[in-house]
Amino acid sequence: MKYFIVTYGCQMNVHESEKIAGILEKLGYESGKSREDADIIVFNTCAIREGAEDRVLGNIGNLKKLKKKNKNLIIAVVGCMTQKQQTAEYLLRTFPFIDIVIGTFNLSNLGYYIDAVKKGRQLELWEEGDIDETLPYKRTSGENAWVNIMQGCNNFCSYCIVPYVRGREKSRKEENILNEIKEIVKENKYKKITLLGQNVNSYGKDLNPAIPFSKLLHDICAIEGDFKLSFMTSHPKDLTDDVIDAIASEDKIEKFIHLPAQSGNNRILKMMNRNYTREKYLEIIKKIREKIPNCRITSDFIVGFPTETEEEFNDTYSLVEEVRYDSIFAFMYSPREGTVASKMEGQVPQKIKNERVNKLLKLEKRLQKEYKN
Ligand code: SAH
Ligand code: SF4
Ligand code: F3S
């Protein structure tokens, strides 16, 4: 019995697919080489932009042929896209050959649903619950070991679907994280450990007693062993001095920060509900450059947010020029149903979004050439 997992989306999903693999191996499945070769195919989906969802839909459609050839093939669709009730129902309606549709909160019970498929199709979407710490991971990312430190997000940036499909911020207990990392170090296979969370800087605020993220970093670095530590993603509003100091002072921490700015214009930042200004963002960058020489800095940007004017986009452009990032991701704003921004008037035409994203990417190329010289 073989499994094949198709993963879309962020590192969080990549890591969760390692959990899916762990669950499937516990059930006696082995890793297969292709979809054709598999007895169970799992699509771990992403809902961040329309493009991500379209890719999933196209690829699910293609599975029909496989199901025809092999009636016993089990097809499961899980992840952020399926946590939305409407999408989950749409999938079952449109693709009658899908066997299991479950959301992010049910993932730990995938084994149960596989068993239940014998009795009929499975659709279940739970409300958020606790993280199941007992499930094994089958680590598949080479020399890097992902470690989840928290789930969910409380920020509700007005464009973003994540808080709706991942629930509220919930930090793992520090002790459990440290134990997991000790195990990883003991295995002696991983040179790099990457901590994952939508907003790692707010780690520990919900614990009792609260623990600052910088303490977690220092405590991990105190674990004996030869490894490099990094983390993502940092939200500028919560990147405090103690975290910058930890990166500067701990040899084990990589000199690298992914610090998404999203926009360089204060009116747009406000509408995005990001809770910082361009000036505050630049101040943080200055501090990082002062305290951590040679720190690599990367960022994400969204162009064509509702009502964004050409001048406001130019503020984003000039921010990218000013900060001289090591690299950036630039995305065209994609309205997500249920979010505040999707209901805003003044949606920007696709053609203009295209132009702006191309301008940013061209700028990035130019800047990268300049560094190399
Ligand atoms: N928690 C992280 C990022 C999560 S999503 C953070 O706050 O930075 C990764 C990136 O996708 C975001 O940084 C943003 O640039 C982009 N993104 C999120 N929602 C989007 C949307 N509706 N349209 C376009 N890009 C989006
Ligand atoms: Fe989305 Fe904002 Fe949360 Fe990041 S911080 S996951 S962009 S709501
Ligand atoms: Fe996508 Fe979910 Fe990650 S929406 S970006 S897979 S948290």
pLDDT of residue 373: 61
From residue 265, give the alpha-carbon distance in Å to each of 268, 275, 276, 305. Answer: 6, 12, 10, 11
pLDDT of residue 137: 86
Looking at ligand 3, which residue's alpha carbon is closest to its atom 1? 46
Question: Same CATH fold, 156-254 and 2-124?
Answer: no
pLDDT of residue 372: 67
pLDDT of residue 203: 97
Ligand 3 centre to CA of 232 (Å) is 13
pLDDT of residue 369: 83
Ligand 2 pocket at CB < 6 A: 153, 155-157, 160, 162-163, 198-199, 235
pLDDT of residue 371: 74
Q: Which residues contact 112 (CB under 8 A, 6 or more apart)?
A: none
pLDDT of residue 122: 77
In tens, the pLDDT along 172-192 reads 999 999 999 999 999 989 999
Looking at ligand 2, which residue's alpha carbon is closest to its atom 1? 160
CATH assignment of 258-272+283-373, among 3.40.50.620, 3.30.300.130, 3.30.70.250, 3.30.750.200: 3.30.750.200
CATH topology of domain 2-124: Rossmann fold (3.40.50)
Give the Cβ contact number of residue 218 at 10 Å: 16
- pTM for the full model? 0.94
- For residue 183, what are its two tokens? 């195990």
List the chain domain ranges: 2-124, 156-254, 258-272+283-373
- For residue 368, what are its two tokens? 């990268």
What is the position in ligand 1's atom list of the atom closest to the CA of 329?
A: 15
Ligand 1 centre to CA of 160 (Å) is 6
d(CA 54, CA 161): 16
Low-confidence ranges of the chain (pLDDT < 70): 131, 372-373
Ligand 1 pocket at CB < 6 A: 48-49, 159-160, 162, 198-199, 233, 235, 260, 262, 300, 302, 331, 333-334, 336
Looking at ligand 2, which residue's alpha carbon is closest to its atom 2? 157
Ligand 2 centre to CA of 274 (Å) is 9
Q: Which residues contact 74 (CB under 8 A, 6 or more apart)?
A: 39, 40, 41, 99, 100, 114, 117
What is the position in ligand 3's atom list of the atom closest to the CA of 8?
A: 6
**Domain 156-254 in this protein, CATH class:** alpha beta
